[in-house]
Structure 1
Amino acid sequence: MDTFELRLETERLLLRPPTAADFGAFADFCADPLAMRHLGGVQPPPVAWRSLAMLTGSWQLLGYSMFSVIEKDSGRWVGRVGPWQPHGWPGPEVGWSIVPDRWGRGYAPEAARAAIDWAFDTLGWQEVIHTIAPDNHGSQAVARKLGSRVLRAARLPAPLDEDVEVWGQSRQAWRAAS
């Protein structure tokens, strides 16, 4: 199967590699100060375009990256969730970012569960981490719902240069809890 035909489905969500058609919603997300508070800050459209291209390029280079998260009922792009490990990253991450007007609906843990299963089953990862800012209580709550715990502290590579908590769990722990 072509990587760009890949689809993961949950009860309410469709996860698929990003496409150029996602750019409008992605750019709106990147322009939202609340959404971007823990993601390096607001990005103007040209920078958001490069961010989307980076995610798409990772699919080409590595065979995985963040998925676009599509709400099944509306067909709306509502975030990005999935496996991620850019050069210099503290480990194999499954991360999540949902548009603020969809927070509190359980979309992040729902999508992350599907992405973690895929990372362990398809990519063969032995560990999944989540890099979370110490004051990002929302993402900490999602990590707890996934059964993750704080593993260590780390510093994200440039240009982020940010101290984070590394949450996560082993494949064995994930399977034992499933």
Structure 2
Amino acid sequence: MQALRSNRIVTTERLMMIPPGKENLPDLTRLKGDDRVFGIMLHGVRTAERTREELEDDTDFWEVRGYGTWCVFERTSGDFLGICGFMERPDGRGVALRYALWPECRGKGYAREAARAALAFGHAAGLKRIIAVARFTNHASRAVMQDIGMTPAGDFRHKGEAMLVFESLA
């Protein structure tokens, strides 16, 4: 599996982004089970079982689509920082960029670096339109989307929350 994933590995100045495998399940379980990280994500905090199911879904998504979600690591230390990549929005809005990094990573530019690299990969893989969604109140995520060149493309309400849609067109 690692050889198959090698052409899907993305590196930046400071990061290495690798499609997830079973070896990443402990890191993913901690990340997705942490309310500070996934408490504001679509569908919220995940159980260990749900994280395992999502890992299987992510692996299948890569196999079918040729793109997906990466595990993000700092190149120098090898530390697991979080995830970044693509998912098909369950509300039918399209393929969406998503990112979720440990709170300790905030303010260091890792989300921007990972999201920018993911966006470039997605467009190179043939995605003409990539969206991203953030709560109106999530100013940090909105700033990342704007800084990587995504533009406002609408809004909607989800469970009483105002949500903003951004897009990037190839």
- In the superposition, the TM-score normalised over structure 1's length comes to 0.83
CA distance in 2, matches of 1:99, 1:22: 15
Structure 2 spans left out of the alignment, 5+ residues? none
Q: Is the 8 A contact 1:82 1:112 kept in 2?
A: yes
Residue by residue, what CA displacement relative to the aligned partner does 1:38-97 show, whole Å, maximum 9, x if unpaired? 212222211121122221221122221111111111112211111222554312222211
Relative to its length, the structure with more strand (as a share) is: 2
Q: Match of 2:85?
A: 82
Deviation string, structure 1 residues 120-151 (Cα, Å, up to 9, x no partner): 11x21222211112222221111121122220
CA distance in 1, matches of 2:90, 2:160: 14
Segments of structure 1 that go 5 or more residues without pairing to the other structure are 172-178
Contact 1:3–1:59 (CA under 8 A) maintained in structure 2: no
Q: Which segment drifts farther, 109-118 or 52-61?
A: 52-61
Q: How does 1:158-173 map to 2 (within 5 A)?
A: 164-171=163-170
Name the Cα RMSD after superposition: 2.2
> Cα distance 1:161–1:64, how it changes in 2: closer, same or farther (>3 A)?
farther
Aligned-partner residue type, residue 91 of structure 1: G
Q: Which moved more, 1:101-110 or 1:51-60?
A: 51-60
Is the contact made by 1:22 and 1:77 (CA closer than 8 Å) also made in structure 2? no
Aligned letter for 2:166? W
Percent identical among aligned pairs is 26
Alpha-carbon contact 1:85-1:93 (below 8 Å) kept: yes
Partner of 1:59: 62
Match of 1:130 among 129, 132, 142: 132
